[in-house]
């Protein structure tokens, strides 16, 4: 009895298709059978490069509609909307970042791939790195590439062709390339005796403490329902008892989905809440996760009758997915999260069209709801989840 053929093979045939897989230091080309799954391709790449710590990595690609996606391992490659290019390209990248590189990364190949990926993210400014740390990291990168500093063979301008510092750092100071090289060279000379693997590990140990290390950012919108109030010119004849009437406004996560009422009925008359205290309280609580706000009439509410109308406003934010949980960032500050959900606090994550819902473990806590800019982004976020 003949052995069953593997789902991948090197030789072309009418029932196979070519794929190209790029790591950050090599390009691999294979021919896959049409029935090959994502797992077949992923395992083939890992065997080829000798990688055993496979759980950190994934295969990323741009689908036929131009969206970035992670290849699902349990589905056929051909069923995942891959582009119909002559050779289907994939990127073999770290998908999940280790919390402690020194403790968790065992294989040299794993360490090297993460070094290249983190270095690229810092130089492309996807990870913010302050100037002092940038120079130190550059010196470790030089040690990893060239080995020990040798004053007798080192020539000025030797590092000119190397991309070592983020452009933001270079633009921040009025320094010539020669001045930057001198700064890097001082640290580089101190690394004598350090092997490539040791230099790369030192690089990663510093990089893992940067605020944006290991965070995958996704643009999201938080929808708020704001109400404005219009008043007539009738006299204010409110009774004092209304001044102490409490009004509860239920907030769902940090998304204000509705304000139950801005006015209340006392006998046969309607009294308006003082909206100043309401707005102040909602502003203070907008980043809260499990809150109930109370607005109290102070007796200075404008005259009645009144009418209300709603204005829907989208607040642009970033969702950050990390090894520790989910972070919410303001649009102009990707360094410091405003709200954090650890994975242990999250019971379930689901999405419906552009709507994304995070359900806390504590059932009395409200759900956190946000809206992605594209439907495909929700699938990308959920595939990035460390709890899966």
Backbone dihedral angles phi then psi of residue 316, each to the nearest 5 degrees: -85, 130
- Asked which of 108-117, 133-142, 167-176, 360-369 is least confident by mean pLDDT, the reply is 360-369
CA distance 201 to 272: 64
CATH number for the segment(s) 8-94 = 3.10.20.90
CATH number for the segment(s) 315-383 = 2.30.29.30
pLDDT, tens only, 228-246: 344 334 444 444 443 333 3
pLDDT computed for residue 101 by the predictor: 96
CATH number for the segment(s) 101-207 = 1.20.80.10
pLDDT score of 337 more than 70: yes
pLDDT computed for residue 139 by the predictor: 98
pLDDT score of 263 more than 60: no
* Residue 33 host element (H or E): strand 27-33
pLDDT score of 173 more than 70: yes
Mean pLDDT over all residues of the chain?
Answer: 76
pLDDT band at 378 (very low <50, low <70, confident <90, very high): low
pLDDT score of 331 more than 70: yes
pLDDT, tens only, 30-61: 999 999 999 999 999 999 999 999 999 999 99
pLDDT computed for residue 383 by the predictor: 64
pLDDT computed for residue 85 by the predictor: 77
pLDDT score of 314 more than 90: no
Examine domains 8-94 and 315-383 and report if their fold is the same.
no
pLDDT, tens only, 64-107: 888 888 999 999 999 998 877 778 799 999 999 998 999 999 99
Where exactly are the structural domains of the chain? 8-94, 101-207, 224-312, 315-383
What residues does 31 pair with on adjacent strands?
A: 9, 18
Q: Is 247 helix (H, G, I), strand (E, B) or coil?
A: strand
- Regarding pTM above 0.95, the answer is no
pLDDT computed for residue 377 by the predictor: 67
């Amino acid at each position: 009895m003949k052995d069953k053929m593997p789902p991948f093979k090197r030789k072309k045939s009418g029932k196979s298709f070519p794929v190209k897989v790029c790591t950050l230091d090599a390009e691999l080309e294979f021919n896959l059978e049409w029935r090959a799954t994502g797992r077949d391709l992923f395992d083939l790449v890992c065997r080829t490069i000798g990688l055993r710590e496979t759980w950190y990595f994934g295969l990323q690609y741009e689908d036929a509609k131009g969206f970035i996606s992670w290849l699902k391992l349990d589905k056929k490659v051909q069923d995942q909307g891959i582009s119909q290019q002559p050779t289907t390209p994939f990127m073999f990248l770290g998908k999940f970042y280790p919390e402690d590189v020194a403790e968790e990364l065992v294989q040299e190949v794993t360490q090297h791939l993460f070094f290249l990926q983190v270095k690229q993210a810092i130089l492309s400014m996807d990870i913010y790195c302050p100037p002092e740390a940038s120079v130190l990291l550059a010196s470790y990168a030089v040690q990893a590439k060239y080995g020990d500093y040798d004053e007798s063979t080192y020539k000025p301008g030797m590092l000119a062709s190397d991309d070592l510092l983020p452009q933001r750092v270079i633009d921040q100071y009025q320094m010539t390339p020669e001045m930057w090289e001198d700064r890097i060279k001082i640290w580089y000379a101190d690394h004598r005796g350090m092997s490539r693997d040791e230099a790369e590990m030192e690089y990663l140990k510093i990089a893992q403490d940067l605020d944006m290390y290991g965070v995958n950012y996704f643009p999201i919108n938080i929808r708020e329902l704001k109400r404005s109030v219009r008043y007539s010119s009738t006299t204010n004849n409110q009774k004092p008892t209304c001044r102490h009437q409490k009004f509860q406004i239920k907030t769902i996560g940090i998304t204000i989905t509705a304000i139950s009422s801005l006015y209340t009925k006392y006998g046969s008359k309607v009294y308006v809440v003082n909206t100043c205290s309401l707005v102040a309280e909602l502003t203070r609580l907008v980043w809260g996760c499990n809150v109930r706000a109370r607005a109290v009439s102070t007796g200075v509410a404008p005259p009645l009758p009144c009418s209300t109308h709603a204005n829907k406003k989208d607040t642009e934010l970033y969702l950050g997915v990390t090894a520790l949980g989910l972070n919410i960032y303001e649009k102009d500050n990707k360094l410091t999260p405003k709200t954090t959900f650890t994975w242990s606090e999250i019971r379930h994550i689901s999405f419906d069209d552009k709507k994304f819902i995070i359900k806390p473990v504590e059932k009395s806590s409200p759900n956190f709801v946000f809206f992605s800019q594209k439907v495909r982004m929700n699938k990308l976020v959920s595939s990035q989840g460390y709890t899966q």
